[in-house]
Structure 1
């Protein structure tokens, strides 16, 4: 089944959790979670769907036939019809009612666990007021009915606009134009590393072009930083700078470049050696 990427800001986005898990586990495409909704509401520190892919990742998925890139701008920016507005309102109200029912059910379950203590407390209160008959007639069902009537669902505390894939009833335009220059050295290095079975992500945070992981980044730290060179030659000070940076972050430093003959991608790993140790 083809995976559809949504074109936004010049790259592909994934809105479906199942699609993202397939891309990550089967195709080693990581992307970055950029949503801010979670089970506790809205948060700027915990990311969620959608997933933003790099341009290299998007272009690779298209080139390998793993995914198609589509633009939904025309459909998603068009004014909604009266039927669509009514359908949304009905769905929205149904979602609120479901949350209200869930809140009431949980409150009743909690009350049932302590119903005997609650019942005894209410009977004692009635006895202090001199209402012996009412105290004797009070039952557990009366307590549960009272709790059910007292539960108030505050709409401002409701969970709404959960991150999900777009509605299926809309049109999309297939995008065939390249997202990234497939002849560029950076893309070719990314593709070559990916074809070698590596997990590859952006290395900008470490002053590099890519980070390479031995497995899923959720389980492993990056083992290498990859720096792309236009030529095999590198200035000594830049070499020292990059290698010392890799030592600080506890990773191996790899320089990637194109061989003069044949155009093959070559890699040179440089290790920092301290003779005093």
Structure 2
């Protein structure tokens, strides 16, 4: 599987790769594409899929994906032949979309031609054109719709808003995306290795969120907060645990033992003695 390097992390543009990452490898990422003409909406987002730095590095380290950079190819000015070929492909796609839209328009017209014909005849009669109204037929209505059809380019679907369509290549990227020795990456990899669904926890003031299953089907069960040391100030402890209670999740602190590289997880629960 190939990941495209953009903005310092990996992106996925293929829907089959996206489904494989989600269903087989429990890698969620975040859909950041625009799904409609009104603009981007988190509830209607589409491909590409943006992976976190930890997710990208994990896929590379596990041998599940290869990261490539297409910067050199996509920033190079295309030749005249490539521009002409891309323009021909674009024109062909637009013509195909226009044909489909026109065919659908004609089917709708034929389905409601009696109502349309009646409305046009009534309009002509009100204008004092009774003879024209009597002479108007269904075929005239259908032919008029066909002759007046125009394809608005605002309704067109363009695959890539750039001159490069399919003729581009990538260069293998071997530099690390994030520090493999950092505690955050090691915690992410450890939790993922335990079979957990792990996503970014920024929205909840945490480092990670843990889900019991696919986030489309389950709410997060734990928030994970990474500590550089086992010690934590009382007020900070209270604030984090209270936050987890508010969002109905368990609070997990992850830190490293001082005498080794062993990651320790400490779950803290809020206790109300009055209940």
What's the TM-score, normalizing by structure 2? 0.89
Q: Note the 1:47-58 alignment, pairs <5 A.
A: 47-58=45-56
**Mind listing any 5+ residue stretches in structure 2 that lack a counterpart?**
none
What's the counterpart of residue 212 of structure 1? Answer: 210
2:42 is the counterpart of 1:43: no
Give the aligned partner of residue 65 of structure 1. 63
1:87 paired residue number = 85
Instruction: Output the TM-score relative to the length of structure 1.
Output: 0.88
Q: Which 5+ residue runs of structure 1 have no aligned equivalent?
A: none
Q: Would the alpha carbon gap of residues 76 and 29 (structure 1) be closer, same or farther in structure 2, given more than 3 Å must change?
A: same
In structure 2, what is the Cα distance between the partners aligned to 1:54 and 1:232?
A: 26
Alpha-carbon distance in structure 2 between the residues aligned to 1:6 and 1:130: 67
Contact 1:48 1:163 in 2 (8 A): no
The yes-or-no answer on 1:201 pairing with 2:199 is yes
Number of aligned residue pairs: 270
Q: Tell me the CA shift for residue 109 of structure 1.
A: 1.2
**Matched residue, 1:115:** 113
Task: Give per-residue Cα distances to partners, 1:210-269, cap 9 Å, x unaligned.
Answer: 111111111211110001122322222221111111111111000112234552222111
- CA distance in 2 between partners of 1:34 and 1:245 (Å): 27
Deviates more, 1:150-159 or 1:7-16: 150-159
**190-199 vs 152-161, which deviates more?**
152-161
Matched, 1:129 2:125: no
Residue 188 of structure 1: CA displacement?
Answer: 1.0
What is the aligned partner in structure 1 of residue 76 from structure 2?
A: 78
Shift of 1:135: 3.5
Look up the SS of the partner of 1:272 in the other structure: coil
Task: Decide whether aligned partners of structure 1 residues 114 and 275 sit closer, same or farther in structure 2, where only a CA change above 3 A counts.
Answer: same
Superposition RMSD on alpha carbons, in Å?
2.4
State the 1:157 CA deviation: 3.8
- Return the alpha-carbon distance in structure 2 between the equivalents of residues 249 and 87 of structure 1: 54
CA contact (8 A) 2:4 2:10 kept: yes
